């Protein structure tokens, strides 16, 4: 039996966001789980469907169809690996030594890309997972210690989607300090 819920309307997305909040998810984790921006996740837990005109404009991507099929993920990784190799060659860039997957949804794709490119794998927990609107955290995320070190290495960052680009920008800044 498949327990996957496909959300087709705003009511379902609001309900799911609130369920996740009740389970203790941070606003950033809700954003990641629902594949929406942090601003939209915050709106979902603080507003009602009747206020949908004030909802931030996001594009909802049903990643579940991709993320639940390892063959699709692997094929995407092969295609992305080819693109990475082409850019490295065209721009005379150093070959990637580490592929850094942004947790949670970027990790499966990063794993297959690392395999394709013969690179090590690092896993980053981005600052957005720790984000709460009422907290002014200076935390910029962190690397999980059970995976590859990135210090002094050429790194490619992989995530499942880029909505605003904030997660990628935060990750680049974090890695530049490492």
Answer yes or no: do 49 and 73 share one domain: no
Residue 107 sits in the same domain as residue 134? yes
Residue at 3 is within a domain: no
Same-domain status, 115 and 169? yes
Q: Are residues 86 and 122 both part of a single domain?
A: yes
Residue 81 belongs to what domain range?
Answer: 65-177
The domain total for the chain is 2
Q: Are residues 92 and 157 in the same domain?
A: yes
Q: What are the strands of the beta sheet with 98-102, ordered from one edge? A: 141-143, 120-126, 98-102, 155-158
On whether both 102 and 158 belong to a single domain, the answer is: yes
Residue 13 buriedness (CB in 10 A; 0-12 / 13-18 / 19+): buried
- Collapse the DSSP code of 137 into the 3-class scheme (helix H, G, I; strand E, B; otherwise coil) and give the result: coil
Phi-psi region of 24 (alpha: psi -120 to 50; beta: other; left: phi over 0): left
Query: pLDDT for 124-153, tens place per residue?
Result: 987 654 555 666 655 567 787 889 999 999
Domain membership of residue 71 (yes or no) is yes
33-51 pLDDT, tens digit each: 887 877 888 888 888 777 7
Q: What is the pTM of this model?
A: 0.65
């Amino acid at each position: 039996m498949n327990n996957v819920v496909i959300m087709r309307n705003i009511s379902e997305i609001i309900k799911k966001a609130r369920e996740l909040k009740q389970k203790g998810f941070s606003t950033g984790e809700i954003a990641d789980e629902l594949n929406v921006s942090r601003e939209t996740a915050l709106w979902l837990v603080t507003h009602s469907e009747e206020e949908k005109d004030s909802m931030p404009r996001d594009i909802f991507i049903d990643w579940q169809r991709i993320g639940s099929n390892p063959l699709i993920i692997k094929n995407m990784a092969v295609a992305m690996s080819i693109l990475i190799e082409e850019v490295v060659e065209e721009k005379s860039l150093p070959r990637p030594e580490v592929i850094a997957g942004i947790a949670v949804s970027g990790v499966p794709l990063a794993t297959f890309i690392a395999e394709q490119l013969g690179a090590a794998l690092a896993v980053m927990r981005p600052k957005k997972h720790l984000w709460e609107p009422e907290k002014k955290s200076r935390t910029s995320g962190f690397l999980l210690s059970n995976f590859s070190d990135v210090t002094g290495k050429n790194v490619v960052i992989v995530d499942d989607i880029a909505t605003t680009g904030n997660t990628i920008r935060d990750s680049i800044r974090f890695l530049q300090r490492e």
